Amino acid sequence: MEMEKLLTQQRAWFRTGATLGSTARKKALEALYQAVKNMEGDIALALERDLGKAPCESYLCETGLVLHEIRYHLAHVKRWMSAGPGPVPWLHFPARSEIRPRPLGVTLIISPWNYPFHLCLMPLIGALSAGCCAVVKPSEYAPATAQVVERVLKRALPREQAAVVQGGREETEKLLEQPFDHIFFTGSQAVGRVVMGAAAKNLTPVTLELGGKSPVILDRTADLKTAARRIAFGKVLNAGQTCVAPDYLLLEQGLQEQFLIHYRAALDDFFPGGNLDQMARMVSRRHFEEKKKLLAGQNAAIGGGWDDGAGKISPAVLVDVDPSSPVMQEEIFAPILPVIPWRTLDEAIAFVRDRPRPLALYLFTRDKGVERRVLGECDFGGGCVNDTVIHLASPGLPFGGVGPSGMGQYHGKYSFDAFSHPQAIVRRGSRPHIPVRDLPYTGGKERLARWMLR
Ligand code: NAD
């Protein structure tokens, strides 16, 4: 009942047109910006409580990125929302065509726990700049951040425009029964299937931001020292609990020893004296216990241990890994890097292509031919050449998966598009009326139609 009521309130608000104008959109974005700015300390504290994130990492990956994205939308939303000209085919002459972005309406945003602030707010920014209303459902696994998200939204916006519904599986299932105009889901592939199934009942369109195993391919031309450092950064960021974390490494044969030296040196630099205080912990005891099991029976060339008290898995590199072992079957989501050697590039590419299309792929090489082949032959959501993860932090780039790693994309203009419908309008005067298409059809009209549509 509560959820139905909320949806009815948001729908009524949306119908007043209060969210539509550029001034209203900017006001909403500015209010959100101010609320986030004012509550920066509370946000950092909540992320520390839920995941043990260091304040710098919280700013870098959550609050800072959100503020940056809001500023980007504020700078561009007026242009994005204005109607643009469309081409006019000869057949319709004389006429003018227009493409008018229209907000989708009342939307549902469901978020996971790993970047629990970022992943509630980033889609919401798109919804607001597109002129939509939104119900946000944070993850129950990050309860402190879920509360902060609710407080930020309460401070910034009327409940009719953006509201939080707290809860887990049961509450989300109830929300999914409601006839929203769009569902934006970030989370696992398993729940993505549930969301899409529920959405189908109301024919509600979905954006799915899912996960998967994102490979790194490294060849002998790469700068091993920099590569090891950048892979280690992607792997220990949020303790590997990042949707685009480098999941496993496909390493050209003969490089393992050197790579391990550089990876170990990078970890020594990141965590002086082996102190892991600045690395996040596993989100829950259950997740921690599950990740420990991934190490069983593996040959850890680096790490391989954990800290039971802190709930942290030490950064690890696994060698001699059997591709059929559990660590190579599921998304790892922990600072554990399995290494799989390859002899020919064909082998490395086939390894990626034989598996579900990943959310990200990272290539370390200085060989343009290798780059052309990997980018040309492998399908994946997005990625980097000679780095990891950073493609996610660019508002000018679309972010999203392909196939089982996701459906649709967002960030910057792509977020605006995700929550908008490009409405096509052909505008004509009443005169002249050229009766070419009118009945009765004649041979001459058909010949003309064939010529015009050639
Ligand atoms: P999850 O799928 O378990 O949960 C996501 C949301 O769905 C939560 O709000 C949860 O309450 C809800 N939920 C859980 N079970 C449900 C059910 N049966 N029915 C309805 N709703 C349900 O995901 P998670 O464990 O919170 O997050 C980790 C996953 O998210 C990883 O697979 C990761 O790769 C993915 N992820 C993807 C992105 C991306 O941008 N593509 C970003 C972050 C995380």
CA distance 240 to 172: 26
**Per-residue pLDDT reduced to its tens digit, 134-173:** 999 999 999 999 999 999 999 999 999 999 999 999 999 9
CA of 405 to the centre of ligand 1 (A): 12
CA of 124 to the centre of ligand 1 (A): 17
Burial of residue 203 (CB within 10 Å: 0-12, 13-18, 19+) is: exposed
107 touches ligand 1 (CB under 6 Å): no
Output the pLDDT for position 435.
84
Domains of the chain and CATH, by start: 2-210+402-422 (3.40.605.10), 215-393 (3.40.309.10)
CA distance 36 to 196: 31
Output the residue whose Cα is nearest ligand 1's atom 14: 169
**Per-residue pLDDT reduced to its tens digit, 258-308:** 999 999 999 999 999 999 999 999 999 999 999 999 999 999 999 999 999
Active-site hit among 62, 209, 252, 331? 209
Output the pLDDT for position 322.
96
Question: Phi, psi at residue 163, to the nearest 5°?
Answer: -140, 155
Output the residue whose Cα is nearest ligand 1's atom 12: 169
Helix (H, G, I), strand (E, B) or coil at 134: strand
CA of 238 to the centre of ligand 1 (A): 16
Output the pLDDT for position 337.
98
Neighbours of 447 (CB within 10 A): 10
Please give the mean pLDDT across all residues of the chain.
97
Structure-token match 């003309």, residue found:
448
**Per-residue pLDDT reduced to its tens digit, 54-64:** 999 999 999 99
- What is the average pLDDT across 382-400? 96
**Per-residue pLDDT reduced to its tens digit, 204-252:** 999 999 999 999 999 999 999 999 999 999 999 999 999 999 999 999 9
User: Is a pLDDT exceeding 90 seen at residue 182?
Assistant: yes
Amino acid code (one letter) for 110:
I
Active-site annotation holds for 209: yes
**Per-residue pLDDT reduced to its tens digit, 87-112:** 998 888 889 999 999 999 999 999 99
Output the pLDDT for position 241.
98
Output the pLDDT for position 89.
86
CA distance 316 to 127: 39
DSSP for 97-130? Answer: EEEEEEE--EEEEE--SSSTTHHHHHHHHHHHHT
114 touches ligand 1 (CB under 6 Å): yes
Instruction: Give the predicted TM-score (pTM) of the model.
Output: 0.96
pLDDT band at 2 (very low <50, low <70, confident <90, very high): confident
Question: Phi, psi at residue 51, to the nearest 5°?
Answer: -130, 0
DSSP for 284-321? Answer: SHHHHHHHHHHTTT-EEEE---EETTTTEEPPEEEES-
Active-site annotation holds for 243: yes
CA distance 406 to 185: 10
Structure-token match 């802190």, residue found:
310
